[in-house]
């Protein structure tokens, strides 16, 4: 009997694959076991935050979510309060929440204050920039939902998964200079430097950020793009859709002069999986690493 690929073994243990080849994600099991007994009525703002609430068996208490809370798919049936940075007090209060859990970027701040003035508890959580931050956020949400036991169990499980990811990272490195391209609109294309989620996920996956000399996201500049000489381009599914496809990405100013464009090496992944830094972070790192390795083997 052939030995199992270590990545597939990890994904099976993480609940991404079953032995039969199906994909029963861990949140499905948690949701099936959820009991609404002492759950507060929650509005959850932030995709990663909402995923954690679900994983802590709290989905039955969610009254509404924001536009980034699209996983698991069952959340798409819930009332949506809109974009996290452009919230409406009326929209949230109309759902009758007892608790609003919000990401660090939620706002405007005046709206959050209005919700608090109406007697609703609002808890805005710090930004998650690392795996350690993720564990701390799980503990915070566990305390808010009075699900400390579930939070500890999730922390332990993710720590085990993270250890396996780190062990897999000892395999031969991808050895690629990668460039992350963010596109919010056709005329708003930016490149990710250090101090960004994109930079961190690339590091976790063993990739070198070709734009690490600058901090944050910077507007695309043809000269800087050519000088960065990336071997690989990374973008989100949402960004590629905004641009109009891979061909539009490769046609950006200066892009054609890069090694990545000449070899048409592009990795495209779902935004919340890759950049959300939620409980799927170990899966996101493996997925990016594997996709990068596959692209780097490609010859055009």
pLDDT tens track for 231-269: 999 999 999 999 999 999 999 999 999 999 999 999 999
Identify whether residues 51 and 116 lie together within a single domain: yes
Q: Rounded to an integer, what distance in angstroms lies between the CA atom of residue 211 and that of residue 108?
A: 31
Are 78 and 154 in the same domain?
A: yes
Domain with residue 289: its CATH number is: 3.40.50.1980
Rounded distance between C-alpha atoms, residue 6 and residue 3, angstroms: 9
Last residue of a domain, one of 110, 133, 165: 165
The DSSP result for 150-196, as a single string, is: HHHHHHHHHHHHHHHHHHHTTSPP---EEEEEEEEETTEEEEE-BSS
How far is residue 156 from each of residues 14, 72, 144, 153, 160, measured CA to CA in Å?
12, 21, 19, 5, 6
In a domain, 170, yes or no: no
pLDDT tens-place string over residues 141-181: 999 999 999 999 999 999 999 999 988 765 656 689 999 99
Rg (CA), the chain: 20
Which pLDDT does position 38 carry in this prediction?
62
Q: What is the pLDDT of residue 299?
A: 72
155 and 16 both lie in a single domain = yes
In a shared domain, residues 161 and 183: no
Q: How far apart are CA 231 and CA 216, in angstroms?
A: 20
State the number of CA atoms in the 13 A half-sphere of 113 facing the CB: 3
pLDDT value at 17 more than 50: no
Output the pLDDT for position 181. Answer: 96
Query: Within this chain, do residues 223 and 271 fall inside the same structural domain, yes or no?
Result: yes
Q: For 24-64, how does the pLDDT look when each residue is reduced to its tens digit (9 = 90+)?
A: 333 333 333 334 446 779 999 999 999 999 999 999 999 99
Enclosing H/E stretch for 291: helix 281-296
Tally of domains in the chain:
2
Residue 225 lies in a domain: yes
Say whether pLDDT at 201 is over 80: yes
Average pLDDT, the chain: 87
More confident residue, 216 or 1: 216
Last residue of a domain, one of 140, 165, 190: 165
Same-domain pairing of 133 and 203 = no
Do 187 and 144 share a domain, yes or no?
no
User: Do 139 and 17 belong together in one domain?
Assistant: yes
My answer on whether 80 and 206 are in the same domain is no
The answer to whether residue 189 scores a pLDDT higher than 50 is yes
Q: Do residue 33 and residue 108 come from a single domain?
A: yes
Say which residues have a Cβ less than 8 Å from residue 20's Cβ, sequence separation at least 6. none
SS (H, E, C) 1-58: CCCCCHHHHHHHHCCCCCCCCCCCCHHHHHHHHCCCCCCCCEEEECHHHHHHHHHCCC
Asked, for residue 279, whether it belongs to a domain, the answer is yes
Cα separation, 182 vs 144, whole angstroms: 33
Write down the pLDDT at residue 28: 36
DSSP assignment, residue 251?
T
288 pLDDT higher than 70: yes
Residue 272 covered by a domain = yes
- Whether residue 172 is contained in a domain is answered as no
Residue 214 included in any domain: yes
What is the structure's pLDDT at 19? 26
Give this prediction's pTM. 0.85
Tell me, what's the pLDDT at 175?
Answer: 80
Residue 273 has pLDDT above 90, yes or no: yes
The answer to whether the beta carbons of residues 209 and 192 sit under 8 Å apart is yes
pLDDT reported for residue 187: 77
Question: What integer pLDDT is reported at residue 21 of this predicted model?
Answer: 32
Task: Over range 187-212, report the average pLDDT.
Answer: 94
Percent of the chain residues past pLDDT 70, beyond the cut = 84
Q: Which residue has the higher pLDDT, 204 or 31?
A: 204
Lookup: tokens for 145: 């939902």
pLDDT at 199 over 50: yes
Tokens 């490149």 correspond to 191
pLDDT of the residue at 16: 40
Q: Say what the pLDDT of residue 171 is.
A: 61
Residue 184 confidence (pLDDT): 80
Which of 165, 193, 211 is the endpoint of a domain? Answer: 165
Are 154 and 236 in the same domain? no
- Stretch among 12-16, 37-41, 200-204, 285-289 having the lowest mean pLDDT: 12-16
Same domain (yes/no): 269, 192: yes
Boundaries of domain holding 261: 177-296
Tell me what pLDDT residue 27 has.
34
**Structure confidence at residue 82 as a pLDDT band (50, 70, 90):** very high
């Amino acid at each position: 009997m052939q030995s199992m690929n270590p990545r597939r073994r990890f994904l099976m243990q993480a609940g991404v694959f079953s032995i039969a080849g199906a994909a029963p994600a861990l949140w499905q099991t948690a949701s099936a076991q959820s009991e609404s007994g002492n759950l507060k009525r929650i509005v959850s703002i932030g995709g990663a935050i909402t995923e954690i609430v679900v994983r802590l068996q709290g989905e039955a208490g969610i009254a509404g979510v924001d536009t980034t809370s699209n996983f698991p798919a069952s959340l798409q049936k819930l009332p949506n309060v809109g974009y996290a940075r452009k919230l409406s007090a009326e929209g949230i209060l109309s759902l009758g929440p007892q608790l609003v859990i919000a990401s660090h970027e939620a706002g405007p701040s005046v709206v959050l204050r209005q919700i608090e003035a109406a007697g609703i508890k609002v808890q805005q959580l710090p930004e998650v920039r690392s795996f350690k931050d993720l564990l701390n956020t799980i503990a915070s949400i566990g305390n808010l939902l009075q699900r400390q036991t579930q939070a500890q169990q999730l922390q332990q499980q993710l720590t085990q998964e993270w250890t396996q990811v780190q062990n897999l990272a000892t395999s031969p490195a991808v050895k690629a200079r990668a460039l992350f391209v963010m596109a919010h609109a056709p005329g708003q294309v930016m490149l990710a430097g250090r101090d960004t989620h994109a930079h961190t996920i690339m590091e976790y996956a063993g990739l070198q950020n070709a734009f690490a000399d600058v901090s944050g996201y910077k507007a695309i500049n043809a000269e800087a793009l050519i000088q960065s000489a990336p071997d690989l381009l990374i973008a989100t599914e949402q960004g590629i859709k905004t641009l109009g496809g891979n061909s539009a990405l490769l046609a950006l100013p200066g892009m054609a002069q890069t090694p990545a464009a000449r070899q048409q090496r592009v990795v495209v992944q779902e935004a919340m999986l890759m950049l959300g830094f939620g409980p799927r972070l170990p899966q996101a790192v493996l997925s990016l690493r594997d996709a990068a390795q596959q692209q780097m083997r490609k010859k055009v």
